[in-house]
Structure 1
């Protein structure tokens, strides 16, 4: 199966609700590499890569996020592989 990379932004009530930590846990469970971080405008930015099935599953999860999040929009674009190793929460 091919590896793919997605980059994008999650909008809504997605900061202060453990969104980044929950995203990292999901990514690690799915054996994906990448990062997630909060932006000053209230969105969350995410980049993740791995096997297509795992990428698709995380993409679907991001549409809802963790329990207390209220996702209003998800904008993901496929990118060339970045070659990142592991998944980190950026500050």
Structure 2
């Protein structure tokens, strides 16, 4: 089990990105959250098996059809939080 903080930059707000992320997280049994940031990026906290998180990250690099991902940064977190599900934060 691993946990990563992921930040996605580009045209990622107003295009259904958070709901795309939630759908993919549910498909891959990823726990955590996603939210828009005031900077115009999307931030994700993702926890799951390493291979599932890698697959999840690949989906985030693509995003939904209206999104244009310019940059994605992924930082492994030293401690695991106790997430019970994946949620969209507002």
TM norm structure 1: 0.94
Aligned-residue RMSD, C-alpha: 0.7
The residue number in structure 2 matching 1:4 is: 2
Matched, 1:84 2:83: yes
C-alpha distance in 1 between matches for 2:68 and 2:84: 29
Query: Deviation per CA, 1:1-35, whole angstroms, max 9, x where unpaired?
Result: xx100102100000000000000000000011000
Counterparts of 1:26-65 in structure 2, within 5 Å, are: 26-65=24-63
TM norm structure 2: 0.95
Alpha-carbon shift at residue 64 of structure 1 (Å): 1.3
Dislocated runs of 4+, deviation >3 Å: none
Q: Which runs of 5+ in 2 are unaligned?
A: none
C-alpha distance in 2 between matches for 1:78 and 1:59: 12
Q: Which runs of 5+ in 1 are unaligned?
A: none
Question: Aligned pair count?
Answer: 89
